[in-house]
Amino acid sequence: MTRFPIPDDRRSRCHDAGVGDVDPTRIRAVERWFADRGTPHLIEGYSVTEDVLTRAAIPLALVLVLELTGALQAAWAWWQNLLAGIGAFAVLVGVWAVLNLVRGRAPFVRPERVGWGETLVFVLVPGLVTATIGGQLLQGLALVVGNVVLLALASVVVSYGLIPLTRWALVKAAHELESVGPLLGRALPLLLLITIVLFINTEMWQVADGLSGWFLVAVVGLFFLVGLAFLLTRLPRELDRLATFPDGDAVRAEIAGTPAEPLGALVGPGPVPPGPLSRRQQGNVLLVALFSQGIPVVVVTVVLGAFFVVLGLLTITPEIVQTWLGHPGDVLVSATMLGRQVELTAELVKLATFLAAFSGLYFSVVTVTDATYREEFLDEILAELRQTFAVRSAYLVALRGADEERHPPGP
């Protein structure tokens, strides 16, 4: 899986201390393992300012510099733009120096972390410079709003490791395509009985004909939201069960082969209570579960959509489309196949998309409720999450031991 870097210079973290014979680098390796699995928020002390925005500081700084050019105007002479540019950067440097002096640092030192001060500089300074020096008030307000959105987006993307998580999902989706035969062998029989009847139905073609672009997007989005809501009502209960282990042996069995395996000796023989998850940690684990669950759903949806397009090309002639719709279809591509004219129409694409989205909704529901589908698809995902919780249990035991070594209880 793609590496998701965790800074080694984080201060005041438990992994800076060893636990008995445990090398602190093993604790750090476990933290990197969490990040590589798409669950960086399971790292104790994971901070949005120190671990997230700090890593995004360089690209955000580049955006800030580019936005300062908003003080320039094409109608000005070159020397006026030069003065405006110098003034804009002087404002930025001045604000930066004052912020450092307030924090008791040298004026032009680079901050070790991105806090509220740096965040406000990024959000407000380009807009203020554009509005005052450039004289463009509306553009300045737009920059402020845009920077708030950009900062929130960067926080989510970096915080939850969406880029490496997406890469991992694509790799796993490619792996699923290698075994698409068994996958569709499970999914197709009942789905085809339902959807083929709908596909050759006159009313469904008329419905598809009436779905303009945004209405089709809304229908597909509705199917997606219903499926997502159903999964979110079922998966949290599964996670509560997965996070509990009857004894230390169960934890050690789960963490075998992971970076946490050397920490297994620290886990006691009795029941291992689940470490409480914060709301952000719960959301992180649920996001990984949804990504994992969504991969086979997407594979089935895409394959069935392509199947209906091919089926329509082979069976639905232009004459049939004319009879069902009362007008010729909106032809996108026309070709001759096996001596017959075939047409790929917008109506066929819309109907195939509709039925594929419906199939994806159906498949996402049965993978959670039907025992056969659950054994085929969901159990593997739940086993991976259970291993993650076991690693976290050993990790927390090690961190508690490190804290007790640094702060032994009094007499």
| pLDDT tens figures, 213-259 | 888 999 999 999 998 888 888 777 777 778 888 888 899 999 998 99
User: According to the model, what pLDDT value does residue 353 have?
Assistant: 94
Structure tokens at 112: 């070790």
The encoded tokens of residue 115 equal 């806090």
Is the Cβ–Cβ distance between 318 and 329 less than 8 Å? yes
pLDDT at 175: 66
The first and second tokens of residue 136, run together, are 């463009």
Name residues of the chain where pLDDT drops below 50.
1-21, 402-411
Nearest to 201 by CA among 300, 320, 286: 320
Encode the chain in three state secondary structure.
CCCCCCCCCCCCCHHHCCECCECHHHHHHHHHHHHHCCCHHHCCCCCHHHHHHCCCHHHHHHHHHHHHHHHCCCCCCHHHHHHHHHHHHHHHHHHHHHHHHHCCCCCCCCCCCCCHHHHHHHHHHHHHHHHHCCCCHHHHHHHHHHHHHHHHHHHHHHHCCHHHHHHHHHHHHHHHHHCHHHHHHHHHHHHHHHHHHHHCCHHHHHHHHHCCHHHHHHHHHHHHHHHHHHHHHHHHHHHHHHCCECCHHHHHHHHCCCCCHHHHHHCCCCCECCCCCCHHHHHHHHHHHHHHHHHHHHHHHHHHHHHHHHHHHHHCCHHHHHHHHCCCCCEEEEEEECCEEEEEEHHHHHHHHHHHHHHHHHHHHHHHHCHHHHHHHHHHHHHHHHHHHHHHHHHHHHHHHHHHHHCCCCC
d(CA 400, CA 152): 33
CA 127 to the chain's CA centroid: 30
Predicted confidence at residue 37, as pLDDT, reads: 79
CA 41 to CA 161: how far, in whole Å?
10
Among 12, 9, 24, 7, which residue's Cα sits nearest to residue 398?
Answer: 24
Report the C-alpha gap between 395 and 264 in whole angstroms: 9
Q: Is 45 left (phi over 0), alpha (psi -120 to 50) or beta?
A: left
CA separation for the pair 197, 347 (Å, rounded): 17
Q: Please say whether the beta carbons of 2 and 164 come within 8 A.
A: yes
Q: How far apart are CA 365 and CA 354, in angstroms?
A: 17
8 Å CB contact between 24 and 16: yes
How many C-alpha atoms does 389 have within 13 Å on its Cβ side?
Answer: 27
pTM score: 0.67
Instruction: Please give the Cα distance from 134 to 104 (Å, whole number).
Output: 33
pLDDT at 5 (0 to 100)? 42
CA-CA distance, 65 to 129, in Å (whole number)?
A: 11
Provide the CA 51 distance to its chain's centre, in angstroms: 17
